[in-house]
A and B are shown apart, each in its own frame.
Chain A
Amino acid sequence: MSAISRRMHLVLLAAWTILWFAVVQPHGGFSWHYLRTGGELLYAGSGRADGGLNLYAHHPELQMGPVSFLAAGLFNPFPEPVGQFLAAGVMSLIGLIILVVVGRSAAWHFLGTGTNHRRLRQRVLIAGLAFIPMWIEVAVRFGHLDDVLALFFTALAVRALTRGNAAATGIFLALAMDSKPTALAFLPLLLALPRRQWLRAGLWCAGLVALVWLPFLLHAPQSFAAAEFTIPNQPASALRWLGVDDSRTPPWDRPAQAAVGLALGCVAVRRGRWPAVALLGANARIALDPASTRTTPPPSCWAPCCGT
């Protein structure tokens, strides 16, 4: 089989991505201003009273991780429309890369089982056709760089996991949490490594999370208040159906999302079903989220990370 035909599914997925990008981009970037502002403040450092390590203490509404703001700041030298366009393009490309990483992870995971690679590529194509429109919705229409990076690093962590690389698994999971704190729910993936590698992976992960977050918390202890930031409890939220009629996020909600996600992930690993960890973390988020599924990245967006 020629190299071209082996890559045909990627050509089709790239064309599909470009099509959706062209349709959505003119009306996109709904939340990009949060990233742009955060990037400006972070790179401003001590030059601004609310910049640098004071970011979260003064702007609890900026609910993205430092890595997301560091990445977003790379687009700030450009005029705002240009920077937003470039960021949307890069985020769209990351979606394609995730599909490639997921395909390779699946192939590696099933190594030695007689997997039909042609059929696996067909599945990547079909999954990608469903995944790309929702990815473009999150990445381009909303401009949620934090979700994009968290999923990208989680996909890389899964890739490292399937290859048995403990340090890389820990590092990528840490980067996911450094991009978006809710990626904490994916932490049980570490437990899918052989027990002898837990310590190594855990130390890398904990070290990198501490390296990124501790400076903010130590320099400006008020940064903890960012965890108490609330958003409206929308009528279409699953939380309403669980009997929570508060007008805004209840104080127990975010810790509960993390706890339930972690618990479900641990159960999945315990039962030998670690590929379900990402989906279960996303499910815990959606079930207990005050936002509707329209503004929360849906399971279809997170599913490729557990596609193996």
Chain B
Amino acid sequence: MIGQRRLVPWWSWIGLITLYGTVFVVPHDATRGLIGLAFVAVSTAYVLFGPVRDRRRRRSLSRGGRVSASPANVAGRESCEKY
């Protein structure tokens, strides 16, 4: 969910409801298995093929979006230690 435009992306809510909610409201074992499998299939397809917003285009990237060894902005590094 980190890095997305919305504070809590819609697919985070879906994941939360699917993975937590079913444990409490779906008593049938096989049905929970199917729901788990469906979440796996959908989330896999989404993270691989869903649309993404490239917020890092200002950084120097090597091919394929690989991580650069030399971050472009040194001034913001202090902020990275506030977590």
Binding site for B on A (CB under 8 A): 6-7, 10, 99-100, 102-104, 106-113, 115, 117, 119-124, 126-127, 130, 133-134, 161-162, 164, 191-195, 197, 234-238, 240-242, 264, 267-276, 279-280, 283, 286-287, 292-294, 298-300, 303, 306-308
Pick the residue among B15, B36, B52, B70 that contacts A286 (CB under 8 A).
B36
Please name 22 pairs of A and B residues whose Cβ atoms are closer than 8 Å in the assembled complex, sorted by A.
A99-B83, A103-B2, A104-B80, A109-B67, A110-B56, A111-B76, A134-B19, A164-B68, A164-B69, A194-B68, A195-B66, A238-B34, A238-B36, A241-B34, A241-B37, A274-B66, A274-B67, A283-B43, A286-B37, A293-B33, A306-B47, A307-B3
A107→B37 CA distance, assembly (Å): 32
Q: How far is the CB of A148 from chain B (nearest CB, A)?
A: 19
Assuming the contacts A110-B55, A194-B62, A292-B29, asked whether A287 and B37 have C-beta atoms less than 8 A apart, the reply is yes
CB atoms of A127 and B33 under 8 A apart = no
Residues of B near A264 (CB, < 8 A) are: 44, 48
Pick the residue among A100, A127, A238, A292 that contacts B2 (CB under 8 A).
A127
Residues of B near A108 (CB, < 8 A) are: 71, 77, 80
We find that the number of chain B residues with CB closer than 8 angstroms to chain A is 49
Interface of chain B, main secondary structure: helix
Residues of A near B29 (CB, < 8 A) are: 234-236, 292
CB atoms of B30 and A238 under 8 A apart = no
CB atoms of A283 and B40 under 8 A apart = yes
CB atoms of B83 and A293 under 8 A apart = no
CB atoms of A192 and B66 under 8 A apart = yes
Assuming the contacts A103-B83, A109-B56, asked whether A235 and B33 have C-beta atoms less than 8 A apart, the reply is yes
Binding site for A on B (CB under 8 A): 1-4, 7-8, 12, 15-16, 19-20, 23, 29-30, 32-34, 36-37, 39-41, 43-44, 47-48, 52, 55-56, 58-59, 62, 64-73, 76-77, 79-83
Q: How far is the CB of B1 from chain A (nearest CB, A)?
A: 5
Interface of chain A, main secondary structure: helix
A102→B3 CA distance, assembly (Å): 11
CB atoms of A113 and B47 under 8 A apart = no
Q: Closest chain A residue to B33 by CB distance?
A: A236
CB atoms of B15 and A307 under 8 A apart = no
Pick the residue among B34, B59, B62 that contacts A111 (CB under 8 A).
B59
CB atoms of B64 and A111 under 8 A apart = no
CB atoms of B15 and A112 under 8 A apart = no
A221→B36 CA distance, assembly (Å): 37
CB atoms of B34 and A276 under 8 A apart = no
Residues of B near A236 (CB, < 8 A) are: 29-30, 32-33, 36
The 3 closest A-B pairs by CB, nearest first: A272-B65, A103-B83, A112-B73
Assuming the contacts A121-B83, A264-B48, asked whether A240 and B66 have C-beta atoms less than 8 A apart, the reply is no
CB atoms of A113 and B82 under 8 A apart = no
A104→B78 CA distance, assembly (Å): 10
